[in-house]
Chains A and B, each alone.
Chain A
């Protein structure tokens, strides 16, 4: 089976600071790959690269046979029609109603009839439990609703690949579980490949086929939920058991940091 997404030796920088070090990953079609790591681990940066919002400093990213580093803008446009992205806060356009937000990709990228588009939008809103919210403005929605509306917009074109940034961040446990179930149902029915970025362990173990763990911009491990659970890596065990990072303290270096700030 050939990978639908493959990342080879990816390095990434913000200005002079390196945030990703030699990242490698292969994602199979129809697979749910969870990218897990704490804040500052580089997982958001990795997602930015997968969405071609940032170009790699070094290394190669291939999605559906296209090299993101050298893709033409026309090919990128076609590729993006096959990719759906649900952003952390929904990223709905604040000047449009929820319904108009969800229909935006269809209106720009297809020539379907208005009536067909109307029904498609309502089908997706029903799916996300947002029936009846079509004519509200994003500002009138709660955080969880915004997230679901963003997901509705992400899947409106029935993409082959769905990227989801922090599905459960900021949600109450019940809503979070519902969203996890929805993700699984979507994959089952539409056979979507999913890249899900999260720091929530429970949700990650529940939905993932495989999990990639990032620490400080480096890949600590890629494996099935069971393999991750049984890993000997101390940092991964700390992450699973929610222990704080108890690093060895170098007394002299610590004193120097406190006094000089270096």
Chain B
């Protein structure tokens, strides 16, 4: 798994590549909570993500919840395939704000 952080407009784009599972979800959690705590708006880029397990999902829930208290924006971008299936299975697609592309976040 790889985590890349880039800037886009007012957002920090956190791009997850590969597989997020029990072994590395803590890393993801630290990065996301760190960005949210710094009052950054966050886009989590799923477009290169092959797999995310429920520890990864739990991590996203924690970060998303924190973003609400910190009043920053938090979107998930480009979820397809298995990660999207997991979002739907756990009904988290009704919780998160899902965007198709990074450009959508602008408007």
- B25 is an interface residue with CB less than 8 A from chain A: yes
Q: Report yes or no: A112 in contact with B25, Cβ–Cβ below 8 A.
A: yes
Known: A110-B22, A189-B86. A116 touches B91 (CB 8 A): no
List 24 A-B pairs, Cβ < 8 Å. Answer: A111-B26, A112-B25, A113-B29, A116-B25, A116-B26, A116-B29, A116-B58, A116-B59, A119-B61, A120-B57, A120-B58, A123-B90, A123-B92, A126-B91, A158-B54, A188-B89, A189-B85, A189-B86, A189-B88, A189-B89, A190-B82, A190-B86, A190-B89, A191-B82
Q: Which of A92-136 contact B (CB under 8 A)?
A: 110-113, 115-117, 119-120, 123-124, 126-127
- Docked complex Cα distance between A106 and B86 (Å): 19
Q: Does B37 contact A (CB under 8 A)?
A: no
| A127-B90 contact, Cβ under 8 Å, with A119-B58, A158-B54 | yes
CB–CB A158/B90 < 8 A: no
* Contact partners of B88 in chain A: CB under 8 A: 189
Q: A67 to B51, alpha carbons, bound, how many Å?
A: 28
A185: Cβ under 8 A from any B Cβ? yes
- Pair A116/B55 contact, Cβ less than 8 Å: yes
Known: A112-B22, A115-B62. A124 touches B89 (CB 8 A): no
Whether A186 contacts B55 in the complex (CB less than 8 A), given A113-B26, A119-B61, A157-B22, comes out as no
Is A186 a contact partner of B89 (Cβ separation < 8 A)? yes
Q: How many A-B residue pairs have CB under 8 A?
A: 58
| Complex: chain B residue closest to A121, CB-CB | B58
Q: Is B35 interfacial (CB-CB < 8 Å)?
A: no
**Majority-rule SS of A interface residues:** helix
Interface size of B by CB at 8 A reads: 21
B21: A residues at CB distance < 8 A: 158
Give the distance in Å from the alpha carbon of A143 to the alpha carbon of B10 in the complex.
Answer: 53
Contacts of A190 in B (CB 8 A): 82, 85-86, 89
Minimum C-beta distance from A158 to chain B (A): 4
A residues near B, CB below 8 A? 110-113, 115-117, 119-120, 123-124, 126-127, 156-158, 185-186, 188-191
Q: Which chain A positions have C-beta within 8 A of B82? A: 189-191
Which one of B26, B29, B58 lies within 8 Å of A123 (CB-CB)? B58
* Most central of A113, A126, A185 by chain B CB within 10 Å: A113
Contacts of B61 in A (CB 8 A): 119, 123
Contacts of A185 in B (CB 8 A): 89
* Distance from B50 Cβ to chain A, minimum over Cβ atoms (Å): 11
Q: Chain A residues with Cβ under 8 A from B22's Cβ?
A: 110, 112, 157-158
Q: Which of B21, B25, B58, B88 has the most CB of A within 10 A?
A: B58
B97 smallest CB distance to A (angstroms):
18
Inter-chain CA distance A120–B57, complex, in Å, is 8
